[in-house]
């Protein structure tokens, strides 16, 4: 999926919703059973209930690794269940160099069927470009995240001219294949999100933190909107949607939550035209 295809999908669905598929067996409805097969049933039901409302899905690889060898199969089958036309994001936060980075990219793109993978860029160019060597695939760089520990590194370095998060934006624009870069920016610091948008006016931002983490969709749109990209935002929602109900109606409840979010997104898109 290229930029124009993603923009067209956002406009067609009046949505920029990314569903985070981070299945926690302890919170899944009991009637699904237990084990990897239950997780796959859960994921398929969520996808089926939201496929017309979401433009992207983001399985976090750790939730599948934790299931052992069967978890890898569940991850691949979950990716396969995501309909064509939706961006498949492997949230793996890889960060290594050379042949290792290439193997990570092969796993995400060739084995799991992902269109994009999250990457920690702090080892520099040679930890990112191997992901961009795959035609039509995206790397989504961690830039200014919303977790408390982001203060440890991401916001340091201003005394040398720019904090680390800003250098991620500035330096990565010179990477081979940089037109297929996106950036992760947390929803819980709107003023920072506005600064990140100014640093990357022509790039998509993957924005976690709306919903259970307390981020506001309205504030995200106000701070991060990029008109020429139909907003240029992929707003990830996970727990508040996945676990909207713990009963047999979990998929219907997830759809209701997705509809509420999509309605707000449609209003934002309509008001921007």
Residue 6 has pLDDT above 60, yes or no: yes
Measure the CA–CA gap between 246 and 261, rounded to whole angstroms.
Answer: 20
93 is known as an active-site residue: yes
Q: Are 132 and 139 in contact (CB under 8 A)?
A: yes
pLDDT confidence of residue 235 = 97
> From the candidates 34, 58, 93, 137, which is the catalytic residue?
93
- 58 membership: H or E segment, kind and range: strand 54-59
Measure the CA–CA gap between 209 and 207, rounded to whole angstroms.
Answer: 7
pLDDT confidence of residue 160 = 63
pLDDT confidence of residue 215 = 75
* 207: phi then psi, degrees, rounded to nearest 5: -120, 100
- Here the CATH number for the domain that contains residue 241 is 3.20.20.70
Residue 209 or residue 44, greater confidence: 44
Q: How confident is the model over 214-230, as pLDDT tens digits?
A: 678 999 999 999 999 99
pTM, two decimal places: 0.95
Measure the CA–CA gap between 57 and 77, rounded to whole angstroms.
Answer: 13
Q: How confident is the model over 124-155, as pLDDT tens digits?
A: 999 999 999 999 999 999 998 878 787 778 77
pLDDT confidence of residue 93 = 96
Q: Which domain holds residue 199?
A: 3-272
- The number of distinct structural domains making up the chain is 1
């Amino acid at each position: 999926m290229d930029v124009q295809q993603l923009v067209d999908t956002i406009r067609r669905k009046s949505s920029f919703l990314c569903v985070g598929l981070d299945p926690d067996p302890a919170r899944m409805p009991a009637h699904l059973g237990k084990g990897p097969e239950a997780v796959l049933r859960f994921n398929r039901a969520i996808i089926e209930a939201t496929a017309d409302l979401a433009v992207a899905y983001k399985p976090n690889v750790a939730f599948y690794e934790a299931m052992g060898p069967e978890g890898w199969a569940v991850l691949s089958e979950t990716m396969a269940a995501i309909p064509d036309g939706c961006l498949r994001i492997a949230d793996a936060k890889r960060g290594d160099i050379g042949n290792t980075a290439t193997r990570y990219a092969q796993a995400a793109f060739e084995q799991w069927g992902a269109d994009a993978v999250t990457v920690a860029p702090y080892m520099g160019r040679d930890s990112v470009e191997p992901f961009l060597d795959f035609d039509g695939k995206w790397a989504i760089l961690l830039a200014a995240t919303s977790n408390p520990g982001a203060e440890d590194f991401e916001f340091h370095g201003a005394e040398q001219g720019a904090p680390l998060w800003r250098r991620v934006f500035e330096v990565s624009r010179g990477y081979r294949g940089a037109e297929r870069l996106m950036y992760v920016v947390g929803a819980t610091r709107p003023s920072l999100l506005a600064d990140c948008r100014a640093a990357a006016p022509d790039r998509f931002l993957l924005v976690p933190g709306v919903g259970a983490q307390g981020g506001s969709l309205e504030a995200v749109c106000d701070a991060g909107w990029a008109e020429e990209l139909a907003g240029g935002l992929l707003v990830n929602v996970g727990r508040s949607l996945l676990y909207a109900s713990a009963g047999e109606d979990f998929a219907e409840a997830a759809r209701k939550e997705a509809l509420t979010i999509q309605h707000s997104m449609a209003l934002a898109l309509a008001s921007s035209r």
